[in-house]
Amino acid sequence: MSCSSCDSKSDDNDTTTPPVAETLTDEQILDLAQKDALKYFWDYAETNSKLARERYHVDDTSLDKNLVTTGGSGFGIMTILVGIERGFVPRGEAVARLQTSLNFLENADRFHGAWPHWINGTNGHVVPFGNDDNGGDLVETSFLCEALICVREYFKNGSAEEQALAQQADELWKGVEWDWYTKGGENVLYWHWSPNYEWVKNFKLEGYNECLITYIMAAASPTHPITAAPYHEGWARSGGIKHSGSRYNIPVIFNYNGATGNVGPMFWSHYSYLGLDPRGLSDTYANYMDLVQNHTKIMYAYCVANPWQWTGYSDSCWGLTASYSRNSNGTTGYNAHSPVNDKGVISPTAALSSFPYAPEECMKALRFFYENKDWKDKLIGVAGPYDAFSPHYDWVTKRYLAIDQGTIAPMIENYRTGMLWNLFMQAPEVKQGLLTLGFQSTQHPLN
């Protein structure tokens, strides 16, 4: 079945979503954005596993059609939960599809419980992400486990079929050997392990970037937990994670990796927080709602100030994050855009996934993407706004990436109802993990 209820197309054989013809209410345009993002994971899912394809190119739909991405699949699973709750997809059909996906994950290659970054959707085998990266990817696995917790909590009191799905999700995430990824007990987590190359990548998870959720899941595990020491000594660098500087008179709070005194790409305030609720969340290092709101405000202020004088940046056309990008020769590449790495490329997911933090600024961007007379015809494709564009170069890439599409519907839903935040934060293991690491929450009592 096509996601017909989330189609704004008049003909299911159309290849593009037509531009919005009239001004929609805020609720209507939020619905539209969520429905469009859902299409990526419903209409364009990998055919065998029903998990998320790494990418989808409108001009080459056969490219990597069976390449499954682990983290993007986690985001896609959470997107489908939003689709069920909002009535965009039939609940029974969604449950059956999720059952297919969890069966696939149960039989896919795992490395001390961790899934690889990429998986072959036809047979479940690892697809190397790089020359020496053909094993477990703990960060991608943590994004998936964030979703599995939400699946369990969403379906645990449902029908017999739904309860079985919840139980399977529970068993899958509990199979991850988080403590293995301390490389024999070091006070830090490592991103990769390969049966062929072991620890050769030697990538420590040291803050601040997108990996906060990895430490929380590792501390929450009832089967293979880590202690608090890796979080405090590794991730938080024994307090070195903090930064006293500011940008545009807004405190940066943390020392963003590679951007000392500035902020990193916006996805650092998205990936961990699809389930982890920053509202009222604090530890010895930060108030996390202040952290993510300030990140958003700085990004917005930077784009409005536009120090490089890129054509088109404005208070309604803003947002830098990792996405497809325009190379200097005009070809399409990939880049982690940020105030310290600005290529004149706007990534719609940056603003659309920041709704809980700056709703007025994000609504301006959402309306620009769908309603701006100069851009809506070029920017809106089969699953909503394309991944990246540049007004300066009059350039759009007609491509989508799972990790960018997958944060939009969940974060908009967290803004609207707090749905995924409530599911994740009610899990008893999550509460215990947060307590172990020294967190407090005024929004979700942990005791």
Q: What is the pLDDT of residues 209-225, one digit of tens each?
A: 999 999 999 999 999 99
- pLDDT at site 21: 47
pLDDT at residue 51 is higher than 60? yes
Q: Do residues 409 and 356 make contact, with C-beta atoms less than 8 angstroms apart? A: no
d(CA 256, CA 208) in angstroms, rounded, equals 5
- Look at 22 and 23; give whichever has higher pLDDT: 23
- pLDDT at site 3: 59
11: confidence class by pLDDT, cuts 50, 70, 90:
very low
For residue 181, give both structure tokens: 């990824």
89: confidence class by pLDDT, cuts 50, 70, 90:
very high
- Checking DSSP bridges between strand 399-401 and strand 395-397, what pairing results, if any? unpaired
| Range with lowest mean pLDDT among 11-15, 230-234, 268-272, 333-337 | 11-15
Averaged pLDDT of the chain: 95
- Kindly tell me the sign of the dihedral angle through the C-alpha atoms of 176, 178, 182, 186: negative
Average pLDDT over residues 357-372: 98
- pLDDT at site 8: 40
- Look at 9 and 189; give whichever has higher pLDDT: 189
For residue 365, give both structure tokens: 């961007």
For the structural domain made of 4-11+31-441, what CATH number should be given? 1.50.10.140
Q: What is the pLDDT of residues 305-359, one digit of tens each?
A: 999 999 999 999 999 999 999 999 999 999 999 999 999 999 999 999 999 999 9
- pLDDT at site 37: 98
Report the share of the chain in percent with pLDDT over 70: 95
- pLDDT at site 409: 99
Q: What is the pLDDT of residues 273-300, one digit of tens each?
A: 999 999 999 999 999 999 999 999 999 9
Phi-psi region of 119 (alpha: psi -120 to 50; beta: other; left: phi over 0): beta
- Kindly tell me the sign of the dihedral angle through the C-alpha atoms of 70, 167, 407, 39: positive
- pLDDT at site 22: 66
Average pLDDT over residues 22-49: 96
Average pLDDT over residues 35-56: 98
The per-residue DSSP string of 246-296 comes to: EETTEE--B--TT-TTS---GGGGTGGGTTS--TTEE-SS-BHHHHHHHHH
pLDDT at residue 4 is higher than 70? no
User: Does the predicted TM-score (pTM) go above 0.75?
Assistant: yes
- pLDDT at site 16: 45
Average pLDDT over residues 158-166: 98
Q: What is the pLDDT of residues 135-159, one digit of tens each?
A: 999 999 999 999 999 999 999 999 9
- Checking DSSP bridges between strand 281-282 and strand 250-251, what pairing results, if any? unpaired
